[in-house]
Amino acid sequence: MATTADNVTSPLPREMQQHTYSIMYEVEGKHWWFVGRRRIIAGFVEKVCRDLGKVQPRILDVGCGTGANLQMLGRFGAAEGVDVSTDALDFCRARGLAEVKQGAAESLPFTDASFDLVTGLDVVEHLDDDVAGLREIRRVLRPDGRAVLFVPAFMFLWGVQDDISHHRRRYTLTELKQKLRAAGLTVERASYANITFFVPILIGRVMMRVTGLRPDSENNITIGALNGLLGKVLGAESWWLRRMSFPFGVSIICVARRDLS
C-alpha cells in the first residue's frame, strides 16, 4: 500500500520555539542556572586552554544562542559563534558580538582544522543526527584540538524546557561516550554535573507532569532574590569537578580530543 503524507511524522524544527530566545536573552545574565552553568563550563575551558598552550586559541561556540556563553569564551581566546537561528544571532549582535555566522551544526560553515577549541553547550541534544554533528565538530578541530560539551542527562528528567527547546534526547554518560567514539573523538574527561539541584528539579518536573502545569519556559521559574545565592551554589561545583566526577546529575560535561592522526 502506498505511503501517504498523513503517515509521515514531521521532524522537529532545528530552532527552539521563537519566544524562548527573548526569554533567554533577558535572563541568562542573572538566572542561577545560566550563571552557575557558565562558572562550571569556564573552569573546564580554562584548563583546556591552559593545556593547549596557546596565548590566543581560536574558539568556536556551536549553537551560540543569544551569546552569553560566547562572551564568557572571549575571556580565553578569539571566540566565534554559529547558530541555525537568525533570531539568536540578532541577540548576539545586540550584545556587540560581531563574529557570528548562521549555519547548522551538521554542516558548519568553516574549513577543516580551523579551531583549537569547539564548544557545544546544550546543543547536541537538538540534532536529529547527533553523531553527524559531532563529526563536524571533529572536522573543524585542529589535530590535538579539544571539544567541550554540555548536554542534559537522563530521559526521566524530561520536562517542559526539553519540549520548547525541541530536544531530541537526554543522555547518560555511557551513551554520550559512545556517540563521541563513533564520531572519532577521544574522551579525556566526562562527568555528570548539577548534582546539587538534581532532586529539586526531578520533583519539580514530576509535579509538572502530574498537574499539567506548562509554563512558557522553565527559565521563568525562579525566586529573584535567591538567584545570586543559587548561582553561587551551583557554580561551586566547578571546584569539586576539578577534583572528582559525580555519579549523577541534571547535566553532563565532557572534554574530548581530536587525535593527531
Task: Say what the pLDDT of residue 179 is.
Answer: 98
Strands (E), the chain: 58-62, 78-83, 100-102, 115-121, 141-152, 186-193, 251-257
So what's the pLDDT on residue 221? 56
Per-residue pLDDT of the chain (261 residues; tens, 9 = 90+): 333 333 333 467 766 665 678 888 888 888 899 999 999 999 999 999 999 999 999 999 999 999 999 999 999 999 999 999 999 999 999 999 999 999 999 999 999 999 999 999 999 999 999 999 999 999 999 999 999 999 999 999 998 888 888 899 999 999 999 999 999 999 999 999 999 999 999 998 898 888 887 766 655 555 566 788 999 999 999 999 999 999 999 999 999 999 987
DSSP 168: -
Alpha helices in 118-252 (DSSP H): 130-140, 160-164, 173-182, 198-211, 227-235, 237-241
Rounded (5°) CA angle 16-22-27: 105
Cβ atoms of 151 and 170 closer than 8 Å: yes
pLDDT reported for residue 215? 66
CB atoms within 10 A of CB 238: 20
- State how far the Cα of 117 lies from the Cα of 48, in Å rounded to an integer: 8
Residue 257, burial from CB neighbour count under 10 angstroms (0-12, 13-18, 19+): buried
Rounded distance, CA 53 to CA 102, Å? 30
Query: pTM, whole model, 2 decimals?
Result: 0.89
Instruction: Please state, in angstroms and rounded to a whole number, the distance separating the CA atoms of residues 257 and 261.
Output: 11
